[in-house]
Each structure stands twice: as C-alpha cells, then as structure tokens.
Amino acid sequence: MTGEHLDATIARRVRRLETLLEEKGLITGERVDEAIDAFLASSAPANGARVVARAWTDEAFRSRLLADGTAAVRELGYMEGSYQRLRVVENTADTHNVVVCTLCSCYPLRLLGPSPSWYKSEAYRSRVVREPRSVLREFGLELPDTVAVTVWDSSAESRYMVLPRRPEGTEGLAEEELAALVTRNALIGTAAL
C-alpha cells in the first residue's frame, strides 16, 4: 500500500469515527475542531528546540533523552497522550543524522509542528534514502566526506528527532537563548547549526 493510499484510508476511517460520535451525540463537529486546533496550537518546532536546549545544558537529561526519548520528553510535558515511541539521534563530529518517513510522512508533530511540504513529498522520501548527501547539499548542507550520514525511517510506531550539535561559542548562553538557535530543519537533520 502506498503512503498516499494509506493516508487516504486513515482519513476515511477518522472521518467515519467522527461521524459516528456526532450521530450518537457524544461529540460535536465544533468540539472536534476545537480539539484539533488546541493540539496544533501546542505543537511547534519551539518545543523540540526547548528539548535540545535542555539536552545541551543538562548532561543527565541528555543521557535520558538518548536512552529513552519518549520518557525524557514526557518529563517536559510534550509526549502526553502520545502512543508513538520517540527516538532521539545525536549528531556528532563523525556522524550526521537525517530523518524521513518513506511510507508516508510520520513525524513528531508535537515537537516539530506541522511537517513541511517537502518532508511529505515523494521526491524527498525516496531520494534522501538513496542519495542523502545530494539531498542535504540541496538544502545547503555540505558535509565533509569524513562525516557518515545515517538516515532514520520513521513509522507509525516510532518517530525520530535529531539532537543537533551545539554551536561553538554558545557556552555562556542560557537555555532559552540556546533554544532560539534551533531550527525545525536541524531537528530533522536537513540543516546544521
């Protein structure tokens, strides 16, 4: 089943469930819209940036984040109600990580906000697996040949987020100032800081 077909099937199921709940008087369409709006309002790349800044300033949190991303992020209140497993992969001097969902566009929405259109595109989903350096170069990220590139494929059960390398010269910055440096693309791995 292709990603588009799976997305359409899920969308039909969701709509049918909404219709049944409305018909039984358990919820109104307006309440469904309010819940979706509230969820999206609390879903933003700033959440992922705060997670990264905490990892950069708190070694114990960083260790927990890399060992069990779901539990560590729940400490900050970002994974409540989520059934997916979050795996956080760390960029180092020798390894650069990039995230994709080859089947559809699975993505840690609460931490990164709505996914960019390019993340959902078939071109990105297929090419980043086959030729990650070329795709990263198109994003303006040129990595030395000595840096290994690892591509992580998200799924319905598991989501990935990149822990970017902390920029040099930021040792004196507070957590809030560090969070302001983190971009959504860095959290996906298509950019470095």
Tokens of 69: 């991303």
104 is in an annotated binding site: yes
Active site residue 121: no
3-class SS of residue 86: strand
Spot the catalytic one: 63, 82, 104, 158. 104
Spot the catalytic one: 42, 43, 101, 158. 101
Active site residue 104: yes
Spot the catalytic one: 42, 43, 63, 105. 105
Q: Are strands 148-153 and 158-163 parallel, antiparallel or unpaired?
A: unpaired
Q: Which long-range contacts (CB under 8 A, 24 or more apart) does 168-171 make?
A: 170/56
Active site residue 106: yes
Q: How many residues does the chain have?
A: 193
105 is in an annotated binding site: yes
Estimate the crossing angle of helix 59-67 against helix 45-57, to 10 degrees.
120
List residues forming the annotated binding site.
101, 104-106
Which residues participate in catalysis according to the annotation? 101, 104-106
Annotated binding site for Fe(3+): 101, 104-106
